Each structure stands twice: as structure tokens, then as C-alpha cells.
DNA sequence: GATGAATGAGTATTCATTCAT
DNA sequence: CATGAATGAATACTCATTCAT
């Protein structure tokens, strides 16, 4: 009959802790997205979050740890969202289309996260980040796309090309959109269609259904 | 008996001046390419050049000006080289192929310049650079490619797509190669062929000569 | 039916208070002895004690006060133990021997307290400590030894020397052992014998019984 | 006939460099001696030297390097002075006496250097210092004294004791003087005599000449 | 009594820039 | 022309201390 006040206060504290960490990560995302990685000092991030410098150090051991958590969060978020969307498709061509579409949709909803991620990646800051292996991360990022391409080629639904190169090219083209995310006039739908069409042509993608009518 | 001695010494000074500036820019390129932009302090650049810190400040008002001149130099160099190569082709498809080929060839010959450029771009250092308008620079960089695409479409030799988008995509894919330039195992010829094939497919490029046999 | 309940709860509080203070001081001793004074932050001490940072501040106004209490406690402890042992001897030579022996025995039993004390002293932290006058503390520390020396000289059982200097020298030699307390191979018995012999020679100590045979 | 102006200016610069380094080291000595090692921040040292914070970093890579150079300088200075004095003696007893006398004389002339050295040693700052091995340094410091004792014992001119322990004790007693160096009333001559007498008794030192009269 | 979140002053270090020589 | 000594602002980080809960 007595509510577990201790567990309550503990979970409350844990909640506060989590909320603060999330708030700080959000402030870091905003700061990096708005001013670039090199201008994103701890002081600037604290200012954006409206808290003191020391509080960041209280919740994160390092700047490196903060950035690492930021990367993991955005990366995981985007990965979950895209993974769910891509898995609704079964054909390689459909998965390719959905991969592109879901990635751009995610960019539309969380533009700053994506901008920050690209800033961090392109600043070469990954090298120091604890628990983050840059080359392994790239591998993980590319692997699912490479697999889609390889399966498509085995099924004869994709033309001949180097799957790894094509996966890199796809990532480069998609990531190339992010610098424009700050532009209010950006037409993401147009980009989405252009990228889909471009890679359908580049891969020679054939949707199985398109071949059925032949018979 | 020594006419124009004053003019001589002036032009000599001017020559020394130019030589010094070139030397410093080269040292900056080497330093940035080898150690990354964030590690490329003025002291480090001076050390690479084998001169004193102060001398850089004597020839360049700012670090920003030095970087700006570096960007302009590499950019101009590459532009001249590629322009000459592209202008040997007359058909849009041929020009596209030559644009890609010449760009990758330039990367093979001057990898450090390209690496430095990408380092600078991705460090967000452009924002401060005097005399360099990032969006204008992008415009200038994209314009010739956009023109090739538009002409190709008007001639019915390219499929339907947004030329500006396709130009950006091409730059993104080509620039995506540069992070690998440090890798000694990099096979630039493979990349060249893959990129050419990819964009021929993506643009639906038809070489006029291919159509002639029909008649 | 529960008389003195207020007094009880007060003394209970007082007891808890005392226990907490002792617990915190012990944690401080362990932390300082194990990691050095400069690494002994309040957070580290709290962690060692298994309590929160704030609780230390609740029981001690200051870090300085905590350290002061620590110094007083170890100092008092050692003083009581040694005083009891020394008072079993009546001759100056015997007291000198017992002073040395009891001091080294105390170091053997409570090495961490001694190590912590030396760490604090040698870190120059004494200057700030409230309620602790360094020179007065030294005076108190030296006084009993000085008295032994003076009495011994008056009785003709010690040679001629400056008693205050000799007391300082004795403390310096004994304190010189403590940096080695962390060494598991330390042979304290050897040190004890060496120090005793050394100071018996240095003071020209004669045990009265040694002279009796003469008659 | 032309003075080697280049060499001159180089040596002049080198001189300035050396002078600055010496000045900074002196400021560090003064600061540490006056305020203790833990209060001797780079800012404080710069203030004492009347220069900017950055200038110290310009001449010394690190605080650790600065402290290391300080230690080396004082240590070397004292070692040279004492070595010269001790080597004028041939008998172990004479060398012991001269070791003590020269050490105290050096303390009289350079009290702050000695105070700073003892502060640094006792603060446990040696562990980090580049190019300085604490235990090796102790070994080097003790070794010559140990040798004197061992030789004296072999010649039968010293009593039986552990030479290593006695060397440590001697260093402890001598170093125990340094905290009093700030005291203007300090009578170093008294200390010198007391320490010499003390260790002559403690070691049972016999000057060979003392034995001659017997015959 | 006890917690731990929060602050702000303090630390060493880096670096573009200036200037007397 | 050229040097390198010198400055000062900026950086990340540490930590004793405070306070609402």
C-alpha cells in the first residue's frame, strides 16, 4: 500500500539524468548544425542549452564522449527508422527505392541531426571518439546497401557494376543533400524523386512486375 | 649601363614575392593533406616551408587569406587542366566522359591539393574566407557541368532529369573518392570506369555515333 | 514511559554524527594514502566512503576542515599510543628507545594514516588548515622529545648537543621511513634497530645500568 | 675583417633564449619556494616573471618540462658545487664532513632553489617529469654517500651500520633544514656543526689522524 | 540526514597574430 | 625581406561548493 517511493525517486532521478543528457545532446546537435563543428565549443553548447559549462562535464566525461553519444543517437535513430521502412519491401529494386525515400524523409524530419552528423564525419572527429570505429562504422553503413545490390545482381535485376562503389556513390549523393537542408526553399521531394530515378537508371534496376506483362 | 635597374629590382621583388607565396601555399597544401586541417597551424605550415612564422604573416594578411589563396590556386589549376581536356570533346556525352576522366586524372597527379581542398571544405572553414563566396563558388563549379547536361537534353542525347541536381550528384560522387586518395591500394582507373559508366546510365547518355548505324 | 526520548534521539544523532565523521575521515585517509593528496578530490573520498558528495559538505564545512580533522585524529591516535609506551620507561635512554620503537610500531599497524599525514604535510596543505598552526603543531610534536633529551643531558646520560635540533633530526629520520611504507618488502624491524642504534650513538646515550658495574 | 655578424646574431638570439629560460626557471623557483608547489600555477609563475602566460609555453613545451628543467638545474648546480668540495677530502670522515658542510653552504647561498626542490620532490610531482626517473634520481643522490660509508667501514674508520639507511637518514636530516630556510633567524652554521657532530657520532667516524697520536 | 544536480572559478595548453630587430 | 620573441584570447577540463528535493 505504500508506493515504492525509493524506486520512484530513483527512476525520477534516472529520468532527470536521461533528460539532461538528451537535452545536452540536442543542444550539441543544434550548435553543430548551426555553426559547424569547429565552432561548437563546450561553452557554445552550454550556452545553447542554457546551462553552465560544468554541467556538461558532469553528465559527459569528455567532449569526445558527448560527440560519440550524439553520433550513436542520430545514427541509431535513423537506422531504426530506415530499417523499418526498407524491410517492408522484398525486391532489391523496391528496397533501393525505399532506402533512398526513407533516408530523405528522415532528413526532412530531423535535418539538424543529419547536418550535425555530416559535420562531425567530415571534420575527421571520428578518430578520437570512444567506442566508435570509423572504418567499422562506414562498413556497417555501407553493408546493407551493398547486400541489396549484390542480391539484385544475382537475381538478374541489376546491371553489372561494382556494388561497393555504387553503395559509396549512393551515400555520397544522399549526404550531398544535407548541406542544403538549412535552405528553406529546399524541395526534398524533388531530390527524392531525382535520386531514385538516377539510381534506378544507374543500377539498371528492373522491378519484377515490369517483366510480367511480357508473357 | 644598367637601365631599368629599378624596374628590375621591382620585378625581382615581385618575383620573389610570388615565389614565396607559392612556396607557402605549397607548404600549406602538404601540411593540410598530411595532418588534417585542424592540425595545420601556422607554425606547422612554416615548419614545413622551412621559414619563420612571421614570414607567412608578412605575405598573407591572415590565415584565412592564405587558405583562400590555396583554395583558389588548386581550384584554378584543376579547372584549367580539366577545361582543356573537356574542350577536346564536342558531344555532351563525350564531354561528360572527359570531365570525369580528367578530374580523376588530376586527382591522381595532384592528390595532396585535392585532399587539402576537401579537408578545408569539410572543416567548414569556407565561411570566413575572404573573397570566397561559398555558394558562388559552388555555382561556378557546377555551371559548366549543368551546361553540358542541358545541351545534351536539348539535343535529345540525355534523358530527362534535373541538370542542376545531376551536376551536384556528379560532384558528390567524384569528391567521394578523395578521402581514399591516401590509400596506396586505391585503384583510380577502376573508379574512373565505374563513375563514367554510372553517369552514362544515369543520364541515359547516347553518343551520336551510336545512333548513326541505324540508318 | 520513554523518558529522555529527546536526549536519546539527540545522543543517537550525535552518535550517528560522530560515526559519519569518522567514516568520512577514514575514507579520506584511505584515498589520500592510496592515490596521493592531489588526486584525493572530494568526489573520490565520497566514492571511497560509499556516500554522496554533498554529505561530506554536510558534516564538514570545508575540505580544509576535513583534512584538519584527519590530521588531528591521526596525530592524536599516534600520540596516545606512543605516550603510553614511552611512559613505561623511566630513563631518558629507555624513553628515547621506546619513542622510536613505538613510532615505528604505530607505522606498521596504521601505515595509511601515516602515509596520508605525510602526503598532506608535504603537499603544503597545512597552511590553510583551520585550527591548525603548523609551527605550533611542530612545537607540540617536538616538545616531548626535547624534554627527554634535556633531562638526559642534565643527568649526564646524553652527550652535548642542541636538543631541539636533535629532536628535529629524529623526526626527520623517522618520517623518512613513511614514503617506503607502501613497499611490501619494507623491513620495519631493520629500520627500527638502525634508527635506535643511530640515535643512541648520536646522543651518546648511556643506560644507567651500564654504568653501575663500574663500582 | 668582417665580424661574423650572422654567428653573432645567432648566438645573441640563443643568448636571449637561454636568458629567458633561466628567467622563467628562476621565477618558477621563487614562486614554488614562496607559495608551495600546488599554488605555483603557470599564471602565477608568469606573473612572478612579469611576462605573459603564453611566453612560458613558447619556451617550454609543458609545465612538466619546465619543472624538469628546474629540477635538473638546481640538482646539477648543487651537485657540481658539492662534488668539488667533497673531492678535496680523501678520508671517508673528511668527505662526510665536507659533504654536509658544502650542502648547507649551498643552501645558504641558494635557499629558494633548495626549498623549491624539496617542495617538488615531496609533492610527488616527479612521477610525470620527462627525462627524470624518480627512483634513479634517488639512487644517484644516495650513491656517493653510500660509497663513502662503505669505504669507511672497509677501512675500519666507521662503525657497523646499514650504509644505505644511514645515507637516507643523512639526506632526511639535511633536507629537514630546508623548511626553515625562510626563517631569517635561522642559524645555518649551528645546524652545520650539529649535523656534522651528530653523524660523526652516529657513524663512529674516526679521522685517521686521531689515531696517530697513540703511538 | 542524505542525495546528486548544478555552478563557476581555476587549471594547463594551443595558436593566430604583432612587432622590434 | 626575414626572424622569432611575445601576447592574449580561446580551448577542454577539474573540482570544491551550494542547494532544492
pLDDT (tens digit per residue) in B103-148: 999 999 999 999 999 888 887 777 777 777 777 888 888 999 999 9
pLDDT per residue as tens digits for the range A14-65: 788 889 999 999 999 999 999 889 889 999 999 999 999 999 999 999 999 9
Q: The C-alpha cell of B158 is what? A: 540525355
Enumerate the residues of chain C whose CB falls inside 8 A of the CB of residue D116. none
Residue B210 pLDDT: 53
Residue A169 pLDDT: 98
Residue A206 pLDDT: 81
Q: Find the CB nearest A123 among B123, B175, B190.
A: B123
| Residues 6+ away with beta carbon under 8 Å from D192 | D100, D101, D104, D105
CB atoms within 10 A of CB C43: 11
Instruction: Say how far apart CA A13 and CA A7 lie, in whole Å.
Output: 10
Phi (first) and psi of residue A51, to 5 degrees: -125, 175
Residue stretches of chain D with pLDDT short of 50: 1-9, 211-215
Enumerate the residues of chain D whose CB falls inside 8 A of the CB of residue C162. 190, 194
Model confidence at A148: pLDDT above 80: yes
The DSSP call for residue D110 is S
Q: The C-alpha cell of A151 is what? A: 542480391
Q: What is the mean pLDDT of chain A?
A: 88
CB atoms within 10 A of CB A28: 28
Q: Is D149 on the interface with C (CB under 8 A)?
A: no
Residue A87 pLDDT: 96
pLDDT per residue as tens digits for the range C48-91: 999 999 999 999 999 999 999 999 999 999 999 999 999 999 99
Q: Which of D145, D126, D146 is nearest to D136 (CA)?
A: D126
Q: Find the CB nearest B202 among A36, A39, A201.
A: A201
Residue D89 pLDDT: 96
Phi (first) and psi of residue D210, to 5 degrees: -65, -25
Q: Find the CB nearest C202 among D36, D38, D198.
A: D198
Contact B114, B191 (CB under 8 A): no
Model confidence at B5: pLDDT above 50: no
For residue D18, tell me if it sits in a domain. yes
For residue D214, tell me if it sits in a domain. no
Q: Is A38 on the interface with B (CB under 8 A)?
A: yes
- Chain E nucleotides close to protein (CB under 7 A) are 1-20
Where is average pLDDT lowest: A150-164, C32-46, C136-150, D125-139?
D125-139
Share of chain B above pLDDT 70, in %: 90
Contact C158, C97 (CB under 8 A): no
Q: Is C195 on the interface with D (CB under 8 A)?
A: yes
Residue C8 pLDDT: 52
Instruction: Say how far apart CA C12 and CA C8 lie, in whole Å.
Output: 6
For residue B146, tell me if it sits in a domain. yes
Enumerate the residues of chain D whose CB falls inside 8 A of the CB of residue C198. 161, 166, 169, 202
For residue A109, tell me if it sits in a domain. yes
Helices A92-109, A188-203: crossing angle, 10 deg rounding: 160
Q: The C-alpha cell of B57 is what? A: 604573416
Q: Which of A60, A29, A65 is nearest to A44 (CA)?
A: A29
Q: Let me know if chains C and A touch, i.e. at least 3 Cβ pairs under 8 angstroms.
A: no
Q: Find the CB nearest B173 among A159, A169, A191.
A: A169
Q: What is the mean pLDDT of chain C?
A: 88
Question: Would the CB atoms of D38 and C36 count as touching at under 8 Å?
Answer: no
Share of chain B above pLDDT 90, in %: 68
Instruction: Please give the tally of structural domains in chain C.
Output: 1
User: pLDDT-based confidence at A11, cuts 50/70/90?
Assistant: low
CA distance A24 to chain B (A): 22
User: pLDDT-based confidence at A188, cuts 50/70/90?
Assistant: very high
Contact A117, A74 (CB under 8 A): yes
Question: Would the CB atoms of A165 and B122 count as touching at under 8 Å?
Answer: no
Q: Is A202 on the interface with B (CB under 8 A)?
A: yes
Q: What angle do CA C62, C68, C69 make, to 5 degrees?
A: 95
Question: Would the CB atoms of C176 and D169 count as touching at under 8 Å?
Answer: yes
Interface test with A, best of B146, B179, B190, B202 (most A CBs within 10 A): B202
Instruction: Say how far apart CA B101 and CA B104 lie, in whole Å.
Output: 5
Question: Would the CB atoms of A195 and B169 count as touching at under 8 Å?
Answer: yes
Average pLDDT over residues A123-127: 79
For residue A54, tell me if it sits in a domain. no
Residue nearest to nucleotide F15 (CA to C1'): C41
Enumerate the residues of chain A whose CB falls inside 8 A of the CB of residue B203. 201
Q: What angle do CA D134, D82, D211 make, to 5 degrees?
A: 115
User: pLDDT-based confidence at C40, cuts 50/70/90?
Assistant: very high
Model confidence at A182: pLDDT above 50: yes
Question: Would the CB atoms of D199 and C202 count as touching at under 8 Å?
Answer: yes
Please report the DSSP string for B6-47 in residue order. HHHHHHHHHHHHHHHHHHHHHHHHHHHHHH-STT--HHHHHH
- Chain F nucleotides close to protein (CB under 7 A) are 1-20
Q: Find the CB nearest C168 among D124, D168, D176.
A: D176
For residue A80, tell me if it sits in a domain. yes
For residue C215, tell me if it sits in a domain. no
For residue C211, tell me if it sits in a domain. no
Number of alpha carbons in the 13 Å side-chain half-sphere of residue A1: 0
Which CATH number goes with the domain that contains D74? 1.10.357.10
Q: D8 vs B37, which has greater pLDDT? A: B37
CA distance D162 to chain C (A): 7
Model confidence at B9: pLDDT above 80: no
Model confidence at B38: pLDDT above 90: no
Q: Is B142 on the interface with A (CB under 8 A)?
A: no
Containing structural domain, residue B177: 64-207
C156-177 burial, b for 16+ CB within 10 Å, e for fewer?
ebbbebbbbbbbbbbbbbbbbb
- Nucleotide closest to C43 measured between CA and C1': F15
Residue D8 pLDDT: 47
Distance of C1' in F9 from CA in A120, Å: 25
Which stretches of C36-133 are DSSP H helices? 42-49, 53-59, 63-86, 92-109, 111-122
Amino acid at each position: 500500500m505504500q508506493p515504492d517511493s525509493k524506486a520512484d525517486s530513483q527512476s525520477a532521478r534516472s529520468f532527470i539524468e536521461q533528460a539532461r543528457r538528451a537535452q545536452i545532446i540536442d543542444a550539441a546537435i543544434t550548435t553543430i548544425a548551426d555553426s559547424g563543428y569547429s565552432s561548437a565549443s563546450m561553452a557554445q553548447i552550454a550556452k545553447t542549452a542554457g546551462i553552465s559549462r560544468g554541467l556538461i562535464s558532469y553528465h559527459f566525461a569528455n567532449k569526445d564522449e558527448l560527440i560519440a553519444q550524439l553520433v550513436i543517437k542520430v545514427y541509431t535513430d535513423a537506422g531504426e527508422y530506415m530499417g523499418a521502412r526498407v524491410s517492408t519491401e522484398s525486391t532489391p529494386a523496391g528496397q533501393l527505392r525505399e532506402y533512398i525515400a526513407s533516408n530523405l524523409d528522415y532528413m526532412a524530419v530531423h535535418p539538424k541531426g543529419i547536418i550535425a552528423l555530416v559535420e562531425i564525419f567530415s571534420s575527421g572527429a571520428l578518430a578520437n571518439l570512444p567506442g566508435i570505429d570509423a572504418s567499422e562504422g562506414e562498413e556497417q553503413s555501407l553493408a546493407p546497401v551493398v547486400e541489396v545490390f549484390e542480391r539484385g545482381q544475382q537475381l538478374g535485376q541489376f546491371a553489372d557494376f561494382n556494388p561497393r562503389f555504387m553503395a559509396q556513390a549512393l551515400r555520397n549523393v544522399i549526404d550531398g543533400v544535407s548541406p542544403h537542408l538549412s535552405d528553406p526553399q529546399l524541395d526534398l521531394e524533388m531530390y527524392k524523386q531525382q535520386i531514385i530515378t538516377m539510381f534506378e537508371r544507374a543500377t539498371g534496376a528492373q522491378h519484377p512486375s515490369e517483366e510480367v506483362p511480357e508473357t
